Structure 1
Amino acid sequence: MQTSTGRLNAASATSSATRTPTTPSTPRSRAETTGRESSGSSTPDGTNNFASGIPSFSTAVAALPEGGTDPLVSAIYEPVPDALYLARRGEGATVNGDPLSADSELSLDRGTVSLVVGLPAIRDPDRAATAQRIERSLREQSKRVIQTWSPTVDFGLLARGAIEGLVYVHPQGHEQYAGALLASESGVVSGERDDVYVGASNPETLTAIRSAVATAT
């Protein structure tokens, strides 16, 4: 079911966010829930938005198995709406303790897709040109394409069914670890090919978005 509360709110940032998020880190620890050695990944997200007073930013953390890239648990916190997303592999996902579901009844032509362009694509002219073609293709197939410059915030919108899809061109590890686990544990269907992640609220929308991406790459 489509949720109205998840739609992007363009209101000004509130004073509740009093600190700039900390810099990324990768501490080592033992995962209590698995009894295995694990690596931690944490990152601030949307720091440019924060500095500009745009209320779309978060802090994300994820625990990875030692030597692996599939996160075991993740958390994303958005200070402005005071929203805490938690996901544990195989056990589902929640926001502020309530179960999450990525259900959306909207088809792609009536829906919203988030486009995220990672730094490798921004800094490379050829990759940037590919990202621009993907954006044009998505705009032709969907009602709206948003770019918030805060990937983990967008993963939260996808996980709660507030947007119908997310395309991440050349994902960055820290953001991808936390966001992708949240998405999958909330029922998002996804695939990744040629360094482009595509997630959607249902298989039909996933197929439509992947087709739009394929025509541009």
Structure 2
Amino acid sequence: MTQNGQPDYEATVERGLALATDLALRAGTILRDRLDAKRQVVHKGVVDLVTDADHASEALIWEGLKAVFPEHRMLGEEGSVGALATMAEQPFGWVFDPLDGTTNYAHRFPHFAVSICLEHQSEPVVGVVYDPMRDELFAARKGYGATMNGQPIAVSHTGELVQSLLASGFSYDLTERASQLVLWEHFNNRTQGVRRAGAAALDLCYVANGRLDGYWERPVRPWDMGAGVIIVREAGGVVTALEHDGFDLYTPEALAANPAIHRRMREAIATVTGDTKPT
């Protein structure tokens, strides 16, 4: 704590990165070990699923965060809510997805991850994403760069949409998918391809290490994108809203890419939406 009783920023962020890394690895082990076992799958919506593995992973993360940072705000996808403090009262908050890619997991499709983000006044400052099937750990701390398995990573140098590979996702609300296909079709016809792999956290990490050149999604939830946002930024990428330069973790949209492709994607989105002057 500082003299005025506020948490020490650098110490909290450093400790938070170490804790998030440990919890992501342990939670990922749970998911990997249970993938081929009998499991319980519950429908939260028509196509929105949750498994017992989600709950086991979330319990581990929740208990681990609460033990070290009981005063922090916390928000997990499956309902965990931490200290009932306002952002003014407690500047640090955790948003995490114990299993990003639940639908994949429920079908034993091996593409999913654990995503843990520490935000400071809603700005992501620590991000850890762990893919247990590939044993790939993506991590970033604001101002310190991004890594995969401890090695520095950087976004691609692709400069034109026609040279790019993009990714996106679709809403669990089936009524929204037709409108989402408008942008999908636009980009699919102007790039080398658009991928929909079903785990936003990994899409963002793949932008960060250059496997993808850009990503967009609306809606996307804070626990899905929080960790990936800081990882992309620390890898040299740009993350904003789809149609303006601002970004709010708690507004459900994100456009992430290397700087050149980000500009091209914004221009394309403006053309599709009718806003010819992206800002």
Same fold (TM over 0.5): yes
Higher helix share: 2
Aligned-residue offset at 1:60: 0.6
Deviations 1:69-121 (A, max 9, x none): 112211000001100111101111111000110123363212210012344xx
- Tell me the TM-score normalised to structure 1 length: 0.79
Of 92, 106, 110, the match for 1:38: 92
Give the corresponding residue for 1:182: 231
Deviations 1:161-205 (A, max 9, x none): 0111101112211112111111111111232146542111232x1
Q: Show structure 2 runs of 5+ residues with no match.
A: 1-30, 35-52, 73-89, 244-251, 274-279
How far did 1:215 drift? 2.9
- CA distance in 2 between partners of 1:164 and 1:193 (Å): 16
CA distance, structure 1, for counterparts of residue 160 and residue 91 of structure 2:
42
Cα distance change of structure 1 residues 174 and 162 upon mapping to structure 2, 3 Å threshold: same
RMSD over aligned Cα, in angstroms? 2.3
Structure number with larger C-alpha Rg: 2
Question: Could you report, residue by residue, the CA deviation over 1:36-82 in whole angstroms, capped at 9, with x for unpaired residues?
Answer: 752222212011111212121000101122xx211221100000110
The 2-side partners of 1:153 and 1:134 are apart by 21
Alignment of structure 1 residues 28-67 onto 2, 5 Å? 29=69, 38-43=92-97, 44-65=99-120
Classify 1:58/1:104 alpha carbon distance in 2 versus 1 (closer, same or farther; 3 Å). same
Choose between structure 1 and 2: higher strand proportion.
1
Aligned to 1:8: none
**Against the structure 1 CA distance between its residues 54 and 209, is the aligned structure 2 distance closer, same or farther, given a 3 Å change threshold?**
same
User: 2 CA distance for matches of 1:189 and 1:90?
Assistant: 14
Aligned length: 191
Cα distance in 1, alignment partners of residues 110 and 153 from structure 2: 22
Q: Which residue in the other structure is 1:212 paired with?
A: 268
SS in 1 for 2:32: coil
Select 1:18's aligned residue among 23, 33, 42: 33
Shift of 1:129: 2.9
- 1:74-113 matched pairs, under 5 angstroms: 74-105=127-158, 107-113=160-166
Unmatched runs of 5 consecutive residues or more in structure 1: 1-15
Where 1:73 maps in the other structure, the secondary structure is strand
CA contact (8 A) 1:137 1:215 kept: no
